[in-house]
Amino acid sequence: MDKIIIEGGNTRLQGEVTIEGAKNAVLPLLAATILPVEGKTVLKNVPILSDVFTMNHVVRGLNIAVDFDEALNQVTVDATGAILDTAPYEYVSQMRASIVVLGPILARNGHAKVSMPGGCTIGSRPIDLHLKGLEAMGASIHQEGGDISATAEKLKGAHFYMDFPSVGATQNLMMAATLAEGTTVLENVAREPEIVDLANLLNKMGARVSGAGTETLTIRGVAELHGAEHNVVQDRIEAGTFMVAAAMTSGNVLIKDAVWEHNRPLISKLREMGVDVREEEAGIRVKSDISKLKPVTVKTLPHPGFPTDMQAQFTALMAVVKGESTMIETVFENRFQHLEEMRRMGLHSEILRDTAMIHGGQRLQGAQVMSTDLRASAALILTGLVAQGQTKVGQLSHLDRGYYQFHEKLAQLGADIRRESED
Ligand code: EPZ
**What does the DSSP assignment read for 213-265?**
TBSEEEEE--S--B--EEEPPB-HHHHHHHHHHHHHTT-EEEEET--GGGGHH
pLDDT (0 to 100) of residue 423: 64
Q: How many alpha carbons fall within 13 Å on the CB side of residue 70?
A: 7
**Parallel/antiparallel/unpaired status of strands 216-220 and 229-231:** unpaired
Instruction: Show which residues are catalytic.
Output: 120
Residues with CB under 6 A from ligand 1: 23-24, 27, 97, 123, 125-130, 164, 166-169, 190, 308-309, 331-332, 374-375, 402
183-187 and 159-161: which strand pairing? parallel
Q: What is the pLDDT of residues 16-51, one digit of tens each?
A: 999 999 999 999 999 999 999 999 999 999 999 999
User: Atom 30, ligand 1: which residue's CA is nearest?
Assistant: 126
CA of 169 to the centre of ligand 1 (A): 9
pLDDT value, residue 386: 98
Tell me, what amino acid is at 72? L
pLDDT tens-digit map of 168-205: 999 999 999 999 999 999 999 999 999 999 999 999 99
- Give the distance (Å) from ligand 1 centre to CA of residue 309: 10
- pLDDT at position 64: 98
SS3 assignment, position 291: helix
Q: What is the pLDDT of residue 256?
A: 98
Residues 68-94 pLDDT 10s: 999 999 999 999 999 999 999 999 999
Counting atoms of ligand 1 from 1, which one is nearest the CA of 100?
A: 19
pLDDT of the residue at 119: 64
Q: Supply the pTM of this predicted model.
A: 0.98
CA atoms within 13 A on the CB side of 73: 18
Under-70 pLDDT residues of the chain: 118-119, 423
pLDDT attached to residue 124 = 81
38 CA to centre of ligand 1 in angstroms:
31
